[in-house]
Amino acid sequence: MGRGLFATGRDTAYRKPVWLSARYAYGFILPHHKSMERFTRNHVSLYEVAVSFNSEFSDKINGFHFNSGTSYLYSSLSDTRILGDVHAVVPWIRQAYRINAFSFSFRLGLGLAWVTHPFDLETNFQNTAIGSHLNAAILINSGLNFKPDDRWVWSAGLNFIHFSNGSTKQPNYGINLPLIYAGISYNLVKQQGIRPAIKIDSVTGRFYIGLQAAGGIKQIFPVNGPDYFTMLAAPYAGYRFTHGFSGLLAFDISYSASDIDYLKSKGLIVTSKNDVIKTGLSLGFNQNYGPLGLSFRFGYYFHQLEDSDGPFYDVLSLSYRLLKGLDGRIMLKTHFARADFVGAGFSYTFDF
């Protein structure tokens, strides 16, 4: 932070920065499925407005700076006649490493999106990307930032944004946007007062174990088919590298009732529900900011009877601390940008 952050004034209370940001991004729709190629003829513009708050311990953890915020995203996508517009609200956590006035940052967010023209069998059957108005929105961002003073930040970098309904309604190939962006941020709070001394508990170097579990519903083709129960349970172990940031290793156990009907449609015999249980091992990270947390894991199936999605998967989840050790959690499981399911559940952590 600049010297304005430490301005003196015996009777003046310190005020935390509040940042208002505007970003413009430009890119295209990734044709991850053959039916998505029709939407790649035009490029895509995306607009973002964000409000964010600095962490109290920003400059105290190994040179890293943390903050969290919420973004509003808007894009007309590449073909408004078919795909319509998308509006999204995405909470996110950002971590940056700063050297003088420059910093490199990574931002990860999970929120909700509204698509104006989803698939409709009678009025919009050409939209094979999204089958519902309400969708999940994933934001992944990396950027280079320049902060000349305490009021302004200039930034540029790369975005990857994913919209899908987690297969709760077909069709659901999802929309994936690789983008380049440029933006500006302004601190709404004039810095004054003396920043109080910050006491941080020493939690680095600690191992912990826990359990995540989430359940939901999904559909498979044909369109307007039945709803199937699906779930994921994951015992995990973690190690805290910094305050709030830890590595994760998880043993994933997933089940979807839709796999039974899918295998039967291919002429395969399923004798028990246990036949379609998938198991895998995943590695990732968890980042906490106060009660809010985001985690990402990338995994490999070592047992699956229904293998049409391939051997790799990833799990992104947003959590909120309810009680000590207990978090509420929203979880999205995908196979390389193809959504498997979205569900709600919990996680419980035991510290050593």
Cα separation, 274 vs 31, in Å, equals 35
Cα separation, 265 vs 226, in Å, equals 15
Element (H, E) at 98: strand 86-99
Q: pLDDT of 9-57, one tens digit each?
A: 444 566 778 999 999 999 999 887 777 888 888 899 999 999 998 765 4
Query: With contact defined as beta carbons under 8 Å apart, do 89 and 111 qualify?
Result: yes
pLDDT at residue 351 in the model: 86
Nearest to 283 by CA among 320, 253, 252, 240: 252
Which of the pair, 1 or 197, is modelled with greater confidence? 197
pLDDT at residue 62 in the model: 54
pLDDT at residue 338 in the model: 80
**CA torsion angle 64 67 72 74 (round to 10):** 0
At a CB cut-off of 8 Å and minimum separation 6, what does 305 contact?
Answer: 259, 263, 268, 270, 275, 276, 278
Please give the domain boundaries of the chain with CATH numbers for all domains.
Answer: 3-187 (2.40.160.20), 207-351 (2.40.160.20)
Side chain identity, residue 238 = G
Over residues 164-182, the mean pLDDT reads 92
pTM of the full predicted structure?
0.83
Whole-number CA gyration radius for the chain: 22
Local structure of 49: helix, strand or coil: strand
